[in-house]
């Protein structure tokens, strides 16, 4: 359903996506924290990190709880990191941008929102624990597969994404192999896996562009220097939402038919 046809539906959707973003931000930052602490991240109740008191519904409202409790735990007064508030606002804004750029309410929009949430989780895991957690990568892959039935031009879509994944990851694996054979440090396998999944979302052309911009961000922009995942994630999401899916699939269709004709000759 197109987003901007009826203005009140557009306004309602935008407000709702901001709220969803803030709620899912507290869920995903909590999940990332629990993964790093080696805790059960599904069944355990939320609790204060300092006093261990179980948190109630009123402690878990995104943004409002933080502002009303002035950034402190209701039970022990311990400071709640400002990042909790910032991540909620950030994911709220990211959700709004993703929805507006997508321009219609459908399964692919929902998929992109879930990806944005997982990107935040995997980034926090790397920032805090210096690990690229494969659980997030698996979840991203599962969501990509789950959304396939809703993608237009499925065959072309899969061809483009798989070609992107094979070519670009093949390239990075070769670089990694050469570096290792010279006794230097290769690329982390988790990083290559993460790039592979991001490429499944972007396809070939946007994939090359997002990797170039992502590595540039990582090497030039100060907040992105210490870690690699946030830079790649920001860049990937930006290209994924801004490019039209037509851009690469039509061009690629030309290549595939040309290749098919070429094979038929022999
Ligand atoms: Zn407390």
How do residues 17-40 score in pLDDT, each as one tens digit? 999 999 999 889 888 888 888 877
Q: Give 77 Cα–ligand 1 centroid separation in angstroms.
A: 6
In a domain, 143, yes or no: no
Q: Give 27 Cα–ligand 1 centroid separation in angstroms.
A: 18
Q: What is the pLDDT of residues 145-170, one digit of tens each?
A: 999 988 888 888 899 899 999 999 99
Q: Give 135 Cα–ligand 1 centroid separation in angstroms.
A: 29
Task: Indicate if 101 and 171 belong to the same structural domain.
Answer: no
Q: Give 18 Cα–ligand 1 centroid separation in angstroms.
A: 28
Would you state the pLDDT for residue 87? 94
Asked whether 132 and 126 are in contact (CB, 8 A), the reply is yes
In a domain, 114, yes or no: no
Q: Which domain holds residue 170?
A: 151-266
User: How many Å from the N-terminal Cα to the C-terminal Cα in the chain?
Assistant: 46
How far is residue 249's CA from residue 120's CA, in Å, rounded to a whole number? 28
Q: Give 55 Cα–ligand 1 centroid separation in angstroms.
A: 9
In a domain, 136, yes or no: no
Q: Give 53 Cα–ligand 1 centroid separation in angstroms.
A: 6
Q: Give 58 Cα–ligand 1 centroid separation in angstroms.
A: 14
Q: Give 71 Cα–ligand 1 centroid separation in angstroms.
A: 11
Q: What is the pLDDT of residues 52-63, one digit of tens each?
A: 888 887 888 888
Q: Give 80 Cα–ligand 1 centroid separation in angstroms.
A: 9
Global pTM?
A: 0.86
In a domain, 117, yes or no: no
Q: What is the pLDDT of residues 226-248, one digit of tens each?
A: 999 999 999 999 998 887 554 44
Q: Give 34 Cα–ligand 1 centroid separation in angstroms.
A: 17
Task: Indicate if 99 and 208 belong to the same structural domain.
Answer: no
Angle formed at CA 79 by CA 76 and CA 84, multiple of 5 degrees: 125
Nearest to 30 by CA among 80, 69, 79: 80
């Amino acid at each position: 359903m197109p987003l901007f046809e009826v203005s009140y539906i557009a306004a309602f959707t935008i407000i709702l996506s901001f709220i969803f973003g803030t709620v899912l931000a507290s869920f995903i930052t909590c999940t990332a924290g629990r993964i790093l602490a080696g805790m059960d991240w599904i069944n355990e109740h939320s609790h204060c990190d300092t006093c261990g008191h179980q948190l109630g519904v009123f402690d878990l409202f995104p943004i409002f709880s933080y502002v009303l409790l002035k950034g402190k735990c209701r039970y022990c007064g311990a400071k709640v990191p400002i990042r909790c508030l910032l991540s909620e606002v950030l994911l709220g804004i990211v959700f709004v941008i993703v929805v507006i750029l997508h321009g219609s309410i459908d399964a692919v929009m929902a998929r992109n929102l879930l990806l944005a949430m997982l990107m935040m989780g995997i980034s926090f895991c790397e920032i805090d624990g210096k690990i690229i957690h494969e659980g997030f990568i698996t979840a991203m892959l599962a969501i990509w597969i789950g959304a396939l039935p809703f993608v237009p031009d499925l065959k072309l879509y899969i061809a483009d994404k798989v070609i992107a994944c094979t070519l670009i990851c093949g390239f990075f694996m070769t670089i990694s192999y050469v570096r290792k054979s010279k006794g230097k440090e290769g690329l982390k396998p988790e990083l290559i896996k993460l790039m592979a999944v991001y490429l499944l979302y972007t396809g070939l052309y946007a994939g090359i562009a997002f990797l170039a911009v992502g590595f540039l961000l990582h090497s030039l922009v100060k907040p992105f220097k210490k870690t690699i995942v946030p830079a790649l994630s920001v860049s990937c999401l930006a290209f994924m939402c801004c490019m039209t899916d037509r851009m690469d699939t039509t061009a690629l269709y030309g290549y595939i038919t040309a290749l098919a004709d070429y094979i038929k000759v022999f």
